Amino acid sequence: IIKPDAVRKGHTGAILSQIDQAGFRIVAIKRQSISKSEAEGFYYVHRERPFFNDLCAFMSSGPLVLMVLEKDSAIADLRKLMGATNPASAEEGTIRKKFAGSIQENAIHGSDGEDTAAVEIGYWFAGYELI
């Protein structure tokens, strides 16, 4: 997910280009706004965290870009390309280092495992959208 901060600042194209250059195939993609309750469902695992409410308000604050990406080692490779959650500690050249403003408004989300990826893909996409 390209998060609302990055879409708002006009970084969508640059981030898509970096994802493309890194060898990912974009299997599905859509730009849309989500409601706060949709964000709450998506981040359900974080419901007890102190930043949960702010995070869900942020994620529903403007359009974002939802994608399904395919590649060998896609999960690990995307997380490497994203950089650390906190852009202050992200490696040079990573998407978060280049485009994120804070630990919360950190430009991009990537699934952290095959099981969570399967749930997250099903959360945003119907089967007929995955070609």
Residue 55, contacted partner among Mg ion, ligand ATP, none, CB below 5-8 A by kind: ligand ATP
Binding site for ligand ATP (CB under 6 A): 46, 51, 55, 85, 103-104, 106, 109-110, 112
Kindly state the smallest distance separating residue 87's Cβ from Mg ion, in Å: 15
CA distance readout (Å), 79 to 46, 61, 62, 73, 90:
18, 24, 23, 10, 11
Residues 6 or more apart whose Cβ sits within 8 Å of residue 12: 2, 6, 31, 65
Kindly state the smallest distance separating residue 128's Cβ from Mg ion, in Å: 27
Residues that bind Mg ion (CB under 5 A): 112
